[in-house]
Amino acid sequence: MMPMPVLEEKRRAALARALGQTLQKRAQAVAEMPEWEAMRQRAHDIRAGAMDRLFEHLDAFERAAAANGIRVHHAATAEDACQCVIQIARRLGVTRAVKSKSMVTEEIHLNHAMEAAGIRPIETDLGEFIAQLKGDPPFHLTAPVVHLTRDEVGKVLAVKLGVPFTNDPAKLTMIAREVLRREFLDARLGISGANFLVAETGSIVLVTNEGNGRMVTTLPNPQGPRVNVAITGIEKVVPTLRDAAHLLRMLARSSAGARLTAYTTFIQGPRARSSGEEPSGPDEVHVVLVDNGRRGMLRDARLREALFCIRCGACSNICPVYHRAGGHAYQSVYNGPIGAVWSAALWDTEQAAALPFASSLCGACADVCPVKIDIHHAMLWQRNLATLRGRVPAWQRWAWRLWRMGMERAALYRAGSRLARVLLPQVVLNRLARPWTSKRDLPPLAAKTFHELWKEEA
């Protein structure tokens, strides 16, 4: 397993402040709800029931969506999902598309596939827009550039857009708004995700705090048909509108410490032309249901709970490892504690298999999860799977065996400590431990153990 790099001190402190403020807002929002634990249990039960009858609910959603005029597509793999979107774009004859924030599109690498097909995707979420200009993947599930300072954002916009440098948040927002507004008005293809799919009504539920989601999905275009494509995982289905309403309350409080997100949009289908009023909304609505490994998670009783995730990002906000390493250290679309579980489940690579090991198993992620996912035990199970599949390097297995032997025998532990004080400073050992030291420095051991200090004081 390749260990994670550690963020530099200043950036780590800035990240801790930002995430700390989010956690404080969350605590205040939760304090308003004395029945919070009962709400968490209900949210857990809703998601568990949805997964127990997943394909039944998906069939019901597809029937209701079709009745609303929505076209539903099934994508077994990431490649299938990308090709579905590209075919729609080619039918329209478009060379660019506007996108609302969607982690599933990051998962399937839709932007790269569209660019390879000659179609330019434009991220319209402010954080995603900045990350796209910078050429970086999202740093956090809900806050893509939470690690950047105002000065860094100003430099990105100045260099990439050719505007005068400023670090004023209001001015930076206005610069992005001016650029993106032209894209909204000209685009004929809008791509979004979906926070939930309601089986009862065939509705697509989308939440944002900037309003860009509505501009992407519902703004009509006078130059030709406006098409909205919602790309989402099959696990996002919920049985009823009442269930969706409850989960929306949990999502907003856990993600941003708010009672509700600024914009909550229910898309029922393409715009109606029969009424006397001016029609609004897209001419076509498509939903691409992505599997890409989710059925495998559903079959594993110890990973099924991970499918309950509503992508609030609270587990990352509280995780000490995430605070220390940051989102990019995971080298995965899905980062943080729940991201480690998902990544190891979706991608059979040594890098993904290593992520569940980047945890102290403190359980804070499970305590904060609004749908009560047992995240740290899911990571423990992923560690077991990684070992069984031979994804744990031999040197690491031997290192843990030696560590266990030392921890089980006091005399061996003391002898090992004395030996380590001599060998650790040596360059030869650093070379042998390069999978660790290539990412971080080995700290010096204390001159004396607690046992030795206790004996001296006694």
pLDDT tens for each residue of 298-351: 999 999 999 999 999 999 999 999 998 899 999 999 999 999 999 999 999 989
Record the tokens describing residue 397, joined without a space: 């297995």
Domain 33-292 sits in CATH at: 3.40.50.10420
CATH of 296-388, one of 3.40.50.970, 1.10.1060.10, 3.40.50.150, 1.20.140.10: 1.10.1060.10
- Grouping H, G, I as helix, E, B as strand and the rest as coil, residue 133 is helix
- Determine whether 435 is exposed, middle or buried from the number of CB atoms within 10 Å of its CB (0-12, 13-18, 19+): middle
Question: With 60 as the cut, is the pLDDT of residue 273 above it?
Answer: no
243 Cα distance to chain centroid: 22
**All structural domains of the chain with their residue ranges:** 33-292, 296-388, 410-457
Helices (H), 257-408: 294-299, 314-318, 320-325, 336-346, 350-354, 364-368, 375-388, 394-408
Q: What is the reported pLDDT for 113?
A: 98
Summarised one tens digit per residue, pLDDT across range 228-267 is 999 999 999 999 999 999 999 999 999 999 998 999 999 9
CB 304 within 8 A of CB 298: yes
Same fold, 33-292 and 296-388: no
Using 50, 70 and 90 to split pLDDT, how confident is the model at 274? very low
Residue position matching structure tokens 């919602």: 230
First to last CA, the chain: 42
Report which residue type is found at 312: C
What is the pTM for the complete model shown?
0.89
Q: What is the reported pLDDT for 1?
A: 45
- pLDDT above 90 covers a percentage of the chain that reads 74
